[in-house]
């Protein structure tokens, strides 16, 4: 597989048509072997928003897809729906499998549903999100590993310095920082009055120049 495209936080219900059109063109031009739509697909889990998401996916072509719910994809202002049927609108438009999988000769993708419709206070520890991610990682990491593992939720680290995430803080000014997961150390960062791509690129270029480039850059 030459290309895998991950799309996250589309928040249908607040989408901008020109951005949607540009994204559709980009995905078609890339001709990916797999598309992952990883959570917060809608803004407020309304059926009309899921219909818009379904229409968007249908325009991307005949490509294998993994679609995973996010916290925005379960009702917020309807307590009864959130407790008793949190995924009803999701299932209507996007299917009933909340943890889909995909496997080819060179890629194995496993999705974990990390949404929380109710409280996790009374759940056994083994059902917690962190425990489930850890157990999945341990299950995959059996020697010799058949696939290189790239966890999207990097609570689990592959090796020291393997992953660089980026974080930003807003307020009077924006600060964009490149962070080392293992130590929490922030590398040289950029400051801007408004959050624009130049500040993000500047922070990444400074970190890449001073330190060796990382295998994974996660935003």
Contact between 3 and 32 under an 8 Å Cβ cutoff? The reply is yes
> Which class for 164: exposed (0-12), middle (13-18), buried (19 or more C-beta within 10 A)?
buried
- Residues 173-196 pLDDT 10s: 566 666 555 555 555 555 666 656
Contact between 65 and 35 under an 8 Å Cβ cutoff? The reply is yes
- Residues 133-175 pLDDT 10s: 666 666 665 545 555 655 554 444 344 444 444 545 545 556 6
- CB half-sphere exposure, 200, CA atoms < 13 A: 13
- CB half-sphere exposure, 123, CA atoms < 13 A: 13
CA distances 53 to 8, 14, 76, 82, 88, Å, are 12, 11, 18, 20, 15
Q: Say whether pLDDT at 94 is over 70.
A: yes
- Residues 53-78 pLDDT 10s: 999 999 999 999 999 999 999 998 88
Length of the chain: 219
Q: What CATH superfamily is the domain 4-124?
A: Metallo-dependent phosphatases (3.60.21.10)
Residue with tokens 């600060």: 175
């Amino acid at each position: 597989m030459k290309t895998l495209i991950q799309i996250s936080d589309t928040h249908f219900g607040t989408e901008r048509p020109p951005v949607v059109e540009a994204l559709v063109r980009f995905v078609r031009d890339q001709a990916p072997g797999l598309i992952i739509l990883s959570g917060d697909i809608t803004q407020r889990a309304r059926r009309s928003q899921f219909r818009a998401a379904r229409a968007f996916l249908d325009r991307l072509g005949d490509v294998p897809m993994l679609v995973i719910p996010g916290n925005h994809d379960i009702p917020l202002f309807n307590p009864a729906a959130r407790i008793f049927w949190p995924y009803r609108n999701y299932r209507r438009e996007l299917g009933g499998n909340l943890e889909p999988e995909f496997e080819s000769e060179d890629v194995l993708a496993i999705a974990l549903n990390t949404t929380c419709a109710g409280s996790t206070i009374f759940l056994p520890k083994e059902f917690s999100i962190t425990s489930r991610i850890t157990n999945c990682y341990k299950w995959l990491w059996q020697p010799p590993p058949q696939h290189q593992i790239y966890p999207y939720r990097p609570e689990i680290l592959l090796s020291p310095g393997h992953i660089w995430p980026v974080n930003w803080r807003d307020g009077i000014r924006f600060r964009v920082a490149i962070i080392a997961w293992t130590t929490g150390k922030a590398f040289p960062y950029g400051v801007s009055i408004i959050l624009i791509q130049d500040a993000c690129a500047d922070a990444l270029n400074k970190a890449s120049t001073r330190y060796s480039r990382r295998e994974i850059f996660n935003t």
